[in-house]
Structure 1
Amino acid sequence: MNITKKHLSLLLTSVLLSGCTLPGSHLSLSGKHIVEPNSEQSSDEDISSRVNVYQLSANTVSSFKGSPVSSRSNPNLDKQVAQYQYYIGPGDILNITIWDHPELTIPAGSYRSSSESGNWVHADGSIFYPYIGTVHVQGKTVTEIRDEIAKRLAKYIESPQVDVNVAAFRSQKAYITGEINQPGQQAISNVPLTILDAINRSGGLSADADWRNITLTRNGKEESISLYALMQRGDLTQNRLLQNGDIIHVPRNDAQKVFVMGEVNDPKLLKIDRSGMSLTEALSNVGGINQLDADATGVFVIRSIKNDPVQATSPKSDDGAGQQEQPPIANIYQLDIKDATALVIGTEFQMQPYDIVYVTAAPITRWNRVIMKLLPTITGFNNLSEGLNYYTDLK
């Protein structure tokens, strides 16, 4: 019987020792690279050495902001618009008028529009006109076409007065796709068409549009455009003059995700809207931290290096053996909100896509969870001991 009790004691001891491993997740700064001004980098080999930790305070939060977006003019675009000219292409329809010579002008009439009665530009880029025959018009402006027709008609008509305009613009198009209320093609005409114009003509953006990461594809090359900067902040440098074949794609905001986990009242996935989201807004959207279980000093934002607009601090490359250390994989930003006024600091810290907001549990909470795990085992051990003692007394 003594042997049995000894075995039970050893079992309980092993269970208690295994209970020292706290259940659930916890974020510890031990071993991680705490970034301080003019401090040396650590050279640990584990993953902790590849994570930088920054303290968020009233003095430091401004240094963790990305480049500010402000209202700016776009002189280059203004110059392009001022010098813009439309060049005729196949499919366009021209309306040609010879004043005082109605026999050379096809009347539109009450039942025919200008586009129906005009001169269609054929696939080879030419039109046919009486007396002068074939006229090559592709790649020319209406002014150039007018001058050429007037010059060639001068052989048959004295001082011909020629007027040329485009009755239908069909040769050049830009395409608007993605999260647009009316996606489709936009005709490029003699009126300059910009990205902002094209989106407005398409009915604007849908509710699920990603305002910050639209793409302009031109000749196989993609360029990222921020409609947030253009439409919300007035940064006109984000606007572009569209050309034939341009594709504007507005993606869904599925990538604008923020994960809020840990000791908060309603852990969930949030989406950054078009105006952005601060750390305080993220906490507010999940009902704030759990006042009973959370460690108010342990509000962390875990951010991948590739998503961080702030340049990462890399460890020193020389480890004494001439070997290159691994670059950091994440930055961690810590906010202490024991004093609730520190939430003002959180309003200045903007969230980025795929940020993880994690609120750690207070030490007493983690210890209570250990005890709760051990209670069934201890109760069972006590019941078993009482049964063995009763059996021993009977003997």
Structure 2
Amino acid sequence: MNRSLLSLTAIALVASLLAGCAVAPGNALDTSHLHEEEPSGSAPTYEVHRVTAQTIAELVAAQQATPRPLPESRFPSLKQYSYHIGPQDILGITVWDHPELTTPQGTSFSSGGNTTQTIAGALAQPYTTALPGQADPYGQTVSSDGSIFFPFVGRVHVAGQTPQQVRDRLAAALTPYIHNPQLDLRVLAYRSQRVQVTGDVRSPGPLAITDVPLTLVDAITRSGGATDNADLQRVRLTRGGKSYSLDANGLLDRGEVSQNVMLQDGDIVNIPDRTDSRVFVMGEVKQPTAVQLIRGSLTVADSLTTAGGILDTDANPRQIYVIRGMRAHPNSPEIYRLDMTQPDALLLSTQFPLQPFDVVYVGTSAAVQFNRVMQQILPTLQTIFFTKQLTK
């Protein structure tokens, strides 16, 4: 009679414990309101490429053989660049031996208000407008229709022309009034054309296009330089509604001068951060983590070292996988496997180039998989054993 009572008590205890799992505290999700459909058809299979020296050579050659598209430039080279005048530019005109036609040679200018701006101040801020209550810098300001007024000549359209062309036109127009006119023209303030620099630079903002050609490196330098988190490998240039990706690292590290494009009016240069330059290290490593590319490059050895290395007791050194292309081609990724038990594995791991959003996965050894299964089963077996002992 006592044995039967103990049996019933043990069974009731086990049942209450099992029932209590539904209300036990912890990170347990109630799946009663979820409906998951079983996948139809057979599971897809993916081809795995074994990493060899030839594999690495082919990857490097393919990467170098895929040039990035570059924007078209108005000028074939820096030597052929010339500045073209535009509206709001301020011109200084000098006619020798005719001071009445020459721009006043003052050192400051004011409209009679409380503010006065020096010539140096005007040149230091070529993309700004006049201060409140203040006139534009002394000189001929190009109007919105692209013209200026000059004595004896009248309205002259100058927009879209170089200073040399405008100088020759004015000299020719003054010939009936002045014998052999000696005329000089220069731009006092460049205000018509600008480039916007945004992103991870220390001083983002507009930069004026001047008579000195402005290149990508010049724009980054004049903006205070890139920050420590800037991704110079993927500088984004927007021109004419199209976006281009430029590699400033390739220019600075490998001398790829083609990446140092000449900027023009309306360009937007964005220096992104390194969010899109990550590699994910998972599996049997000491510290699964996301690793940032270092100056646009990273190898398998770099990523594993950053993650603390593989677990000596749990990892399968034959299964070091690199999964590539999941973001762009989720149904057809490229998978590479590195066998770290081979003599040349360490050398290959330092040469295999990773790309942004690659996944480096370290597999689990068969013995560890069996042990983990047993760890899940043993508590249940122990419960059954103790229950049986109580019912005896």
TM-score range (shorter-chain normalised) is: 0.7 to 0.9
Aligned match of 2:142: 121
**Shift in alpha-carbon separation, 1:186–1:110, aligned structure 2, 3 A:** closer
Aligned match of 1:57: 52
Aligned match of 2:317: 296
Aligned match of 1:222: 243
**Shift in alpha-carbon separation, 1:101–1:93, aligned structure 2, 3 A:** same
| Secondary structure of the corresponding residue to residue 53 of structure 2 | coil
CA distance in 1, matches of 2:343, 2:276: 31
**Shift in alpha-carbon separation, 1:382–1:334, aligned structure 2, 3 A:** same
Aligned match of 1:231: 252
Kept in 1: contact 2:231–2:296 (CA 8 A): no
Kept in 2: contact 1:94–1:119 (CA 8 A): yes
CA distance in 2, matches of 1:212, 1:275: 6
Residue correspondence of structure 1 range 1-395 to structure 2 within 5 A: 46-49=42-45, 51-65=46-60, 66-68=62-64, 79-112=76-109, 116-304=137-325, 329-339=332-342, 342-389=345-392
**Shift in alpha-carbon separation, 1:251–1:155, aligned structure 2, 3 A:** same
| Secondary structure of the corresponding residue to residue 47 of structure 2 | strand
Q: Which has the higher contact order (CA 8 A, sep 6+)?
A: 1
**Shift in alpha-carbon separation, 1:61–1:147, aligned structure 2, 3 A:** closer
Kept in 2: contact 1:69–1:229 (CA 8 A): no
Code of the aligned partner of 1:48: P
Report the alpha carbon displacement of residue 336 of structure 1 after superposing the two structures with TM. Answer: 1.0
| Secondary structure of the corresponding residue to residue 291 of structure 1 | coil
CA distance in 2, matches of 1:165, 1:64: 53
Code of the aligned partner of 1:357: V
CA distance in 2, matches of 1:354, 1:47: 24
**Shift in alpha-carbon separation, 1:120–1:198, aligned structure 2, 3 A:** same
CA distance in 2, matches of 1:151, 1:96: 14
Report the alpha carbon displacement of residue 266 of structure 1 after superposing the two structures with TM. Answer: 1.1
TM-score (normalizing by structure 1): 0.77
Report the alpha carbon displacement of residue 79 of structure 1 after superposing the two structures with TM. Answer: 3.7
For residues 213-247 of structure 1, what are the alpha-carbon distances to aligned partners after superposition, in whole Å with 9 as ceiling and x for unaligned? 22211111111111121222211111211111011
Structure 1 stretch displaced more, 113-122 or 221-230? 113-122
Kept in 2: contact 1:62–1:348 (CA 8 A): no
| Secondary structure of the corresponding residue to residue 149 of structure 1 | helix
Kept in 1: contact 2:233–2:296 (CA 8 A): no
For residues 4-52 of structure 1, what are the alpha-carbon distances to aligned partners after superposition, in whole Å with 9 as ceiling and x for unaligned? 9xxx9xxxxxxxxxxxxxxxxxxxxxxxxxxxxxxxxxxxx74433x22
CA distance in 2, matches of 1:371, 1:305: 33
| Secondary structure of the corresponding residue to residue 167 of structure 1 | strand
Number of aligned residue pairs = 329
Report the alpha carbon displacement of residue 338 of structure 1 after superposing the two structures with TM. Answer: 2.2
CA distance in 2, matches of 1:154, 1:93: 24
TM-score (normalizing by structure 2): 0.77
| Secondary structure of the corresponding residue to residue 281 of structure 1 | helix
| Secondary structure of the corresponding residue to residue 60 of structure 1 | helix
| Secondary structure of the corresponding residue to residue 182 of structure 1 | coil
Code of the aligned partner of 2:332: I
Kept in 1: contact 2:285–2:310 (CA 8 A): yes
Code of the aligned partner of 1:186: L
Which structure 2 residue ranges, 5 or more long, are not aligned?
12-40, 110-117, 123-136
Kept in 2: contact 1:126–1:138 (CA 8 A): yes
**Shift in alpha-carbon separation, 1:289–1:237, aligned structure 2, 3 A:** same
**Shift in alpha-carbon separation, 1:292–1:142, aligned structure 2, 3 A:** same
| Secondary structure of the corresponding residue to residue 117 of structure 1 | coil
Kept in 2: contact 1:69–1:233 (CA 8 A): no
**Shift in alpha-carbon separation, 1:302–1:47, aligned structure 2, 3 A:** farther
CA distance in 2, matches of 1:184, 1:340: 53
CA distance in 1, matches of 2:356, 2:333: 13
Code of the aligned partner of 1:68: Q
CA distance in 1, matches of 2:65, 2:227: 23
| Secondary structure of the corresponding residue to residue 166 of structure 2 | helix
**Shift in alpha-carbon separation, 1:375–1:290, aligned structure 2, 3 A:** same
For residues 248-304 of structure 1, what are the alpha-carbon distances to aligned partners after superposition, in whole Å with 9 as ceiling and x for unaligned? 112221111211111111111211121411001000001110001111111111112
**Shift in alpha-carbon separation, 1:269–1:306, aligned structure 2, 3 A:** closer
CA distance in 1, matches of 2:277, 2:83: 39
| Secondary structure of the corresponding residue to residue 96 of structure 1 | strand
For residues 94-115 of structure 1, what are the alpha-carbon distances to aligned partners after superposition, in whole Å with 9 as ceiling and x for unaligned? 0100001112213322435556
Kept in 1: contact 2:216–2:263 (CA 8 A): yes
